[in-house]
Amino acid sequence: MFYRESGQFKSTYAEDSQIFPIRQDRWVVGGIVAFAFLGIPLLAQFGWVSNYAFTAILTPFLIFALAALGLNILTGYAGQLSLGTAAFMAVGAFASYNFMLRIEGMPILVAFVLGGLCAAAVGIVFGLPSLRIRGFYLAAATLATQFFIVWCLTKVGWFTNYSSSGVITAQKIEMFGYAFDSSMSKYLFVLGIVSVMALLAKNMVRTNIGRSWMAIRDMDMAAEVIGFRPMRTKLMAFAVSSFYCGVAGALFAYAYLGTVEPEGFNLDLSFRILFMVIIGGLGSILGSFLGSAFIVLLPIVLNVAMQSLEGAGLPLPSGIGSSIELMAFGALIIFFLIVEPHGLARLWQIGKEKLRLWPFPH
């Protein structure tokens, strides 16, 4: 009844080419963004959003969503499966760290961009095999990125400023004399960056560059015949994707953990982000956010469930939590691939279509 596009006629292609052509969608998304920027800080003022919520849920959710977005560009849109996401994040984090460390007065945002660009450069190099191989051959080859990069960062002392343990402590986030040191201010900092980058990504995937990625993904021969150049298109996907992952990695270090070591960007993290993309929805910007929320919340929910089981007098062996988490992740991946390969984003879409017809389903 209320979610209808009837009566909304589009008289220009400009109107029809908007990100959200349906007015109700614009309201909802606008509402969510406003709530994220204003509502949540306000609630925090009243003590309704705890520090824990900022540091353990909201901030990591946004950072992982950005990384998932990066991987989604590569895997979901351009069709190149990668198992090396965490390595690109690591490059972004450690490059930003070194730019901040070694260049006097380096503005933090510039350092992040430069870090992202370093990740993009690495992405291009390790993306070269994609020109010759595809599918799981490529996936297996991307493991080289994962292991090699982490090894390099661990062994070459320069990257960690010769820290004996390999752990780096990210510099303070400061902009225009303002220090982002409270958990809420870090959240807002991340939110700002992630919102802008999500918007840019959305614009890319709905214009020529995005179409070139999807064309290569769906039918590379035909894409070539109509004039897309596979090499350029694929390397561009690797570059943009790695840039996003690199910035996500920098935020991971600066706004989430504070101290990181190269080993923190291990294969497990790469898989985790891949899972976000699969569960959220391959080839969907929204899906990257939904998937991230899901994977961030799942362990918390499991934890609570297990604690209440224990509270109910059912003693569980210690350490079983992480095993159950693994099983749940695995089972969910399989479940989604079988039941809804387009992930949560598609479920959302279906829900909307139902709503459009409601309450008269014809």
Partner 1 sequence: MSKKSGEVILSFDNISLSFGGVKALTSIGFDVREHEIRAIIGPNGAGKSSMLNVINGVYHPQQGEIVFRGQKRRGMNTYESAKSGIARTFQNIALFKGMSVLDNIMTGRNLKMRSNFLLDAIYWGPAQREEIAHRKAVEEIIDFLEIQHIRKTPVGRLPYGLQKRVELGRALAAEPSILLLDEPMAGMNVEEKQDMCRFILDVNDQLGTTIVLIEHDMGVVMDISDRVVVLDYGKKIADGTPDEVRSNQNVIDAYLGVAH
Partner 2 sequence: MQFFIEVLIAGLLSGVMYSLVALGYVLIYKASGVFNFAQGAMVFFAALTAVGLHDLGLSLWVAVPLTMVAMIVLGLVTEKFVLRPLVAQPEITLFMATIGLTFFVEGLAQAIWGASVRGLELGIADVPLEWLMEVSGMAISQFDLIAAGIAAALVAGLALFFSRTKVGRALRAVADDHQAALSVGIPLQHIWGVVWAVAGFVALVSGLLWGARNGVQFALTFVALKALPVLILGGFTSVPGAIVGGLIIGASEKLAEVFLPPLLQQLFDTQMNLGGIEGWFPYVLALLFLLVRPEGLFGEKIIRRI
Binding site for partner 2 (CB under 8 A): 81, 126, 128-129, 132-133, 135-137, 139-141, 143-144, 146-148, 151, 154-157, 221-222, 271, 274-275, 278, 317, 319-320, 322-334, 337-338, 341
* 339 is an interface residue for partner 1 by CB under 8 A: no
Residue 84 Cβ, how far from partner 1 at the closest point, in Å?
22
Selected binder of partner 1 within 229, 263, 308, 326 (CB under 8 A): 229
* 340 is an interface residue for partner 1 by CB under 8 A: no
Selected binder of partner 1 within 127, 249, 280, 283 (CB under 8 A): 283
Report d(CA 340, CA 348) in Å as an integer: 11
Residue 74 Cβ, how far from partner 2 at the closest point, in Å?
13
Q: Cβ distance 72 to 283 under 8 Å?
A: yes
Residue 342 Cβ, how far from partner 1 at the closest point, in Å?
10
Beta carbon nearer to partner 1, 87 or 119: 119
Sign of the torsion formed by the C-alpha atoms of 212, 71, 121 and 102? positive
Task: State the Cα angle at 74 between 68 and 75, rounded to 5°.
Answer: 80
Q: Which of 88-126 are b and which e, b meaning 16 or more Cβ less than 10 Å from the residue's Cβ?
A: bbbbbbbbbbbbbeeeeebebeebbbbbbbbbbbbbeeb
Report d(CA 348, CA 293) in Å as an integer: 14
Pairing outcome for strands 174-175 and 259-260: unpaired
* 223 is an interface residue for partner 1 by CB under 8 A: yes
Residue 332 Cβ, how far from partner 2 at the closest point, in Å?
7
* 211 is an interface residue for partner 1 by CB under 8 A: yes
Q: Cβ distance 234 to 79 under 8 Å?
A: no
Residue 29 interface partner, choices partner 1, partner 2, none, CB cut-off 5-8 Å depending on type: none
Choices 22-30, 44-52, 135-143, 216-224 (CB under 8 A): range interacting with partner 1: 216-224
Task: State the Cα angle at 332 between 324 and 69, rounded to 5°.
Answer: 110
* 8 is an interface residue for partner 1 by CB under 8 A: no
Beta carbon nearer to partner 1, 153 or 248: 248
Residue 148 interface partner, choices partner 1, partner 2, none, CB cut-off 5-8 Å depending on type: partner 2
Beta carbon nearer to partner 1, 181 or 218: 218
E-assigned strands of 15-135? none
Beta carbon nearer to partner 1, 203 or 322: 203
Report d(CA 171, CA 246) in Å as an integer: 17
- In DSSP terms, 175 is beta-bridged to 178
Residue 116 Cβ, how far from partner 1 at the closest point, in Å?
13
Selected binder of partner 1 within 121, 214, 267, 302 (CB under 8 A): 214
Which residues, 181 to 210, sit near partner 1 by CB under 8 A? Answer: 200-201, 203-204, 207-210
**Contacts of residue 128, Cβ cutoff 8 Å, sequence gap at least 6:** 235
What is the C-alpha radius of gyration for the chain, rounded to an integer number of angstroms?
Answer: 21
Question: Could you tell me which of 265, 335, 324 has the C-alpha nearest to residue 298?
Answer: 324
* 22 is an interface residue for partner 1 by CB under 8 A: no
Residue 212 interface partner, choices partner 2, partner 1, none, CB cut-off 5-8 Å depending on type: partner 1
Beta carbon nearer to partner 1, 179 or 219: 219
Amino acid identity of residue 98, one-letter, is N
Pairing outcome for strands 178-179 and 259-260: unpaired
Question: Could you tell me which of 96, 91, 73 has the C-alpha nearest to residue 235?
Answer: 73
Report d(CA 330, CA 212) in Å as an integer: 32
* 221 is an interface residue for partner 1 by CB under 8 A: yes
Residues of this chain that interact with partner 1 (CB under 8 A) are: 12-14, 17, 200-201, 203-204, 207-212, 214-215, 217-219, 221-229, 236, 240, 283
